[in-house]
Amino acid sequence: MESTVMPKVAGKELPPAGITIAEIEEMEVSEKLLDLANKISRVKRGTKNEIIADYPEYKILVPICTDEMADVAMHLVLRKHLTAEDIAPKCGKSVEETERLLWDIAVAGLAFVNEENGKNVYWCEIWVPGHMEMIVNNRENVAKYPVLGELFDAYGLRKGAGYPGLTPVGVGPMRVIPIETSIDGETKRASHEEVSGYLNNAHLFSVSDCACRTSREAHGEGCGHLKEDMCIQLDHAAEYYIKTGRGREITREEAFEIIKRAEENGLMHSIPNLDGPGKTHAICNCCGCGCFSMRLGDMWNNPDMIRSNYVAVVDAEKCVGCGECVENCPSNALKLGRKLCALEEEPEVERETPWDTEWGPDKWNLDYRTNREVVLDTGSSPCKAECPAHIGIQGYIKLASQGRYKEALELIKHENPFPAVCGRVCPRYCESVCTRGDIDEPIAIDDIKKFIADWELNEENRFIPEKRHDYARPIAIVGAGPAGLSCAYYLALDGYKVTVFEKQTALGGMLTLGIPSFRLEKDVINAEIDVLSKLGVEFRTGVEVGKDVTIDELRKQGFEAFYLAIGAQDGRMLGIEGEDARGVVTGVEFLRNVNLGYDVKLEGRVVVIGGGNVAIDVARTAGKVGPSEVEMFCLESREEMPALEEEIDEALEEDIAINNSWGPKRIIVEDGKVKGVEFKKCVSVFNEEGRFSPVYNESETKIVDADHVLLSVGQAMDWGVMLEGTGVELNPNNTLKVDEQTYQTSVSDIFAGGDAVTGPRFAIDAIALGKEGAVSIHRFVNPGHDLVAGRLKRAYKAFDKTNIDLGGYDSLPRQKTPHVDGKESKETFHDLRGTLTEEQVKKETERCLGCGVTVVDEFMCVGCGQCTTKCKFEAITLEKRYDVEGYELEDLKSVVVKHVLKRKVRMAFKSVKNVFSVKEK
């Protein structure tokens, strides 16, 4: 019976919903519940291992078990099937009353129940795998008492710290079983290592929520991997789960589909390991960041307790260092490293293991859910590290070299949904650090990407990725620029109902309105946005959020989270005399008007002030919209200009005059209209610390006649009334104040990215933040998920190129597209730049040094095989190292005792060896 007030004594009645651990601790201890906790734990009260009231084994009983239930449960026997008739005489109750209580006990998760010969039979199990999972898989109870999840977690923490070094390989309560395709070529494989073997030998199947992830969610520590329909029960366990409503019955075929879906979503498999050799009653689909079994390996650095019989092995010749396996490894056993030889190698450090070492807190990794690393301390390939989206560049280059263009495109789209756009406007950070550039010229990475993307654009059947889930929660995105569109894409892949609100009538943000067509044709942008429409993203153009509809009104319409990505759509003024005259406009406004198709004509002399890429675009556009003479003036010297070198060259070829080291002093106005600009000589732009701090020679000035002045000296955010009343905070520079990892604003359901957060940057920077925004929103809208727990920090870093041996490489010319004649490009808004031919792509991809490689920490590898499913080059495989089949529960103690004695001998031997080693030194 459940109480409506908090009972003073545990066990007399069930407490009200929402009881906390603190409230349990305030209650008077129930001796009967304490007896039951010790019974399930198979220890006696009064001994050194007894369960006391401070332990989670006792506390977890308080919300779900009364003293009356405990009286009956005390007569259950471990794995021995008993009926109510068997138990009733022992507890002094009628058969009917005993049956009722046994059923309540089973529903609570404190006994298994099956039907034999027309009668229910009951038995008890061990805590894990067993009662803990059964308890939290009661959805009604865990919703009423979230503390159950917290106590399951606490049990694992209490027990896990004592396990390292105590068990040989494969003797833990749970054990990893490889993804079956990862051992297809292994001649030594056995049926007990195959998922299909267990499924084909079972007769009854059920599926339930993942118990570990349920527990995590119950106390706000979910990792983003959702729990629903993830764990499969077999035979007697399936019957129990179906009978008590914990799971639903499924067919064998459905079980195989669940396994497949789990593998596709980056999950691995574990099985209860104490049912006897080659036997199990469940198959769990686990993630390294949520699973309590995996925690035994990851948190306490004790993988022997959970590992399969296999270890991952990398063929360095085949590996290209794309990083797909690294990011999907559940135990962080894989990291990217350097393939090229070093001039001076780092000394190898011998790895300590629990096998022969005392294993205390100094050897643990308590923060394993937040400190995962993707690269060795010595670094890996510079291109992947430098790319803001950390695309697997060497991966798609290798795929392109093999003619596998669709797979190359898929790999790019894991991190960047708009490769055709970026193939035209990317700043090529990757090429600036390419190791090949230290030999001759960098790989034409961007041109290769453009070829792959254009190949797909020209295909009759476009690549539309399959949705991974169908979460269907409504999400609002404000701004249809690269950040907003990227966020929409990745949310749509997970089946969210995404609506993008855009103030302008055209989609694409600054891609469409801020970049001229001669650099980025509108049909290219629209073709890539079309993929989002096919994924179900809804676009509402001409809607200004804040003015036409407020964020609060959208909340009331059912939107559960918001992503603000309005970009830096306003141009900055200079703050000088005369800038409010007719004929003076910002370059951003000028480009927007041209791109929207307005009738823009510039005649006479046009002065463009600024030296960045936008200023170049403004100047070239000005030269195309009227019979005008265009000059650029910028503070920086030619070498200091922020514009890309190739864009400067294109401007010069179109007869744009560039005047370096001149800053505007005032704009000369006559009758309210611009007449000219007075400039002053700029001596230096940056101070000794490298900060922007121009110094002028005020005595050296000149006046330049002008009919139009276009200011391209920076961009700014225009929030209008969008943020009024929202509580969202801004930085002094008018960008949004957000968490640096999650991009959550000061209002919990509002996230942001792109230029609105960083200030003006490139499209690829915004695209990268869009994906991170999608990750955060996914976690936020699913209750119980933490925004950072288990979240990968993609902190890639490059190796030291000064320590690389680049001798012996032949010089190979970089493949280039035909040069565009400035006289021809000056007369058109079409993009005349070509794309590499397929033959050129083959030649260019051959120049890649493949300087990164995956490195396996064989000790931490648990042999799940997830890495092999992500590798497109058969570079990583599983190799059989052990031959363990599982154990009977009653055999466990003797196996562990023998191992502990041998370990003590090894530790003693190591200690003596270390003493002699020190003496020799």
User: 445-455: per-residue pLDDT in tens?
Assistant: 999 999 999 99
- The DSSP symbol for 747 reads S
Average pLDDT over residues 495-509: 97
Nearest CA to 354 among 294, 301, 298?
301
Tell me how many degrees the CA angle 20-23-29 measures, rounded to the nearest 5.
Answer: 120
- Does the structure show a pLDDT above 90 at 887? no
Helix, strand, coil % in the chain, rounded to nearest 5 = 35, 20, 45
Binned at pLDDT 50, 70 and 90, residue 921 comes out as low
pLDDT tens-digit map of 724-781: 999 999 999 999 999 999 999 999 999 999 999 999 999 999 999 999 999 999 999 9
538: left (phi over 0), alpha (psi -120 to 50) or beta: beta
How confident is the model at residue 918, as a pLDDT?
58
Strand order in the sheet with 538-541: 538-541, 497-502, 474-478, 561-564, 750-752
| Confidence label for 626 from pLDDT (cuts 50, 70 and 90) | confident
To the nearest whole number, what is the mean pLDDT of the chain? 95
* Helical (H) or strand (E) element with 521: none
Token pair recorded at residue 273: 């390991």
Q: Long-range contacts made by residues 718-721, C-beta under 8 angstroms, separation at least 24?
A: 718/566, 718/569, 718/570, 719/546, 719/566, 720/544, 720/546, 720/547, 721/546, 721/547
State the number of CA atoms in the 13 A half-sphere of 75 facing the CB: 21
Interatomic CA distance for residues 98 and 88, integer angstroms: 6
Comparing CA positions, the residue from 509, 570, 523 lying closest to residue 424 is 523
What pLDDT score was predicted for residue 317? 96
pLDDT in tens, 699-736: 999 999 999 999 999 999 999 999 999 999 999 999 99
- pLDDT higher than threshold 80 for residue 637: yes
pLDDT tens digits, one per residue of 243-298: 999 999 999 999 999 999 999 999 999 999 999 999 999 999 999 999 999 999 99
pLDDT tier for residue 919 given thresholds of 50, 70 and 90: low
Q: Are 631 and 704 in contact (CB under 8 A)?
A: yes
Separation between Cα atoms, residue 422 and residue 426, nearest integer Å: 5
Least confident of 339-348, 565-574, 789-798: 339-348
pLDDT at 693: 86
Supply the pLDDT for residue 2: 61
CB 578 within 8 A of CB 668: yes
- What is the rounded distance in angstroms from the CA atom of residue 595 to the CA atom of residue 389? 28
Count Cβ neighbours within 10 Å for each residue of 783-796 and write b for 16 or more, e otherwise: ebbbbebbbbebeb
**344-348, 476-480, 594-598, 702-706: lowest mean pLDDT where?**
344-348
pLDDT at 245: 97
**Using CA atoms, how far apart are residues 884 and 175, in angstroms rounded to an integer?**
10
Mutual angle of helices 211-218 and 147-160, in 10-degree steps: 110
Q: Poorest-confidence range of 367-371, 458-462, 771-775?
A: 458-462
pLDDT exceeds 90 at position 607: yes
Q: Give residues with Cβ within 8 angstroms of 295, minimum separation 6.
A: 156, 160, 368
Q: How many other β-carbons are positioned within 10 Å of the β-carbon of residue 44?
A: 11
Q: What is the pLDDT of residues 135-193, one digit of tens each?
A: 999 999 999 999 999 999 999 999 999 999 888 998 889 999 999 999 987 767 788 89
Q: What is the pLDDT at residue 689?
A: 78
Tell me the residue type at 455. Answer: W
Average pLDDT score over residue span 49-55: 97
User: Could you give the maximum distance between any two Cα atoms of the chain, in Å?
Assistant: 110
Cα dihedral: 321, 324, 326, 327 (round 10):
140
**What is the residue type of 721?**
V
Mean pLDDT, residues 369-390? 97
DSSP, res 811: P
Element holding 114 (H helix, E strand): strand 112-116
The model's pTM is 0.95
pLDDT band at 459 (very low <50, low <70, confident <90, very high): confident
User: Given this model, what pLDDT does residue 916 score?
Assistant: 66
CB-hemisphere CA count at 13 Å for 628? 27
Per mean pLDDT, which range of 57-71, 300-314, 906-920 is the poorest?
Answer: 906-920
